[in-house]
Amino acid sequence: MTILVGKLEVDRLLHTRETHRGPASFLPGVGIVARVTGASSQWRGIVARYLLVAHQTAERRELLAAAKQLASEDSEATFTLLVPATPVGDLLMWEEGETKDVAHARARSASSALQGHGINIEGSKVGDADPVLAVDDEFLAGGRYDAIVVATLPPGISRWIKMDVVSRLQRKRPQLRVIHVVAEEAPADAKTPGGKHT
């Protein structure tokens, strides 16, 4: 489901193991409207755990707003930030350094920023350049989450959207909520169109 909230577009692909379908819900703050399937972790008495997947959008206000909204559903919810190691040549903005070094720097900076805004960051990690493979590796390593939040740049310049990352994750993990947060706009000093971006 795709919802347009002002200029912030959020895709919520909701799938859980339960079969009960709840009513359409309005989530204040970000203003995300979604149909909820099954009971939330909070209702089940379980602390919610979320996997945030982002690179160049990891410090954007749209991801912060989505994380705050999820945290408002469960004040004890925890978040893990996963930064796929996008090759530096494919980044929207020039970053000096080796691919993994740039990704680690982004993970540290974004984690600190999110924590500074009250988000309970349990940890940050760098993964495979392909976000879907990075998520696979995280689950193979024992990570368990109630939802995956993928933050991308806008359509037309987003490399991950061209890679069909959100739909691929939905197909591979239909039992999980997959939330797509789209950045409102590209930075003013971004590369010219035609490049490959995250």
Q: What is the pLDDT of residues 26-48, one digit of tens each?
A: 333 333 333 333 334 444 457 89
What domain range is 11 assigned to?
Answer: 2-182
Tally the domains of the chain: 1
Other Cβ atoms less than 10 A from the Cβ of 125: the count is 19
Check: CB of residue 3 under 8 Å from CB of residue 181: no
Task: Evaluate whether residue 71 is within a structural domain.
Answer: yes
Q: What is the mean pLDDT of residues 98-107?
A: 90
**Could you tell me the pLDDT band of residue 95, with boundaries at 50, 70 and 90?**
low
Task: Evaluate whether residue 176 is within a structural domain.
Answer: yes
Task: Evaluate whether residue 170 is within a structural domain.
Answer: yes
Task: Evaluate whether residue 147 is within a structural domain.
Answer: yes
Q: What is the mean pLDDT of residues 72-77?
A: 92
Q: What is the mean pLDDT of residues 52-74?
A: 94
The CATH code of the domain that includes 177 is 3.40.50.620
Task: Evaluate whether residue 198 is within a structural domain.
Answer: no
Q: What is the mean pLDDT of residues 7-24?
A: 34
Question: What does the alpha-carbon distance between residue 148 and residue 66 come to, in Å, rounded to a whole number?
Answer: 12
Select the more confidently predicted residue: 86 or 25: 86
Task: Evaluate whether residue 150 is within a structural domain.
Answer: yes
With b for 16 or more beta-carbon neighbours within 10 A and e for fewer, the 28-65 pattern comes to: eebebebebebebbeeeeeebbbbbbbbbbbbbebbbb
According to DSSP, the β-strands at 177-182 and 147-152 are: parallel
- State which H helix or E strand residue 173 sits in: none
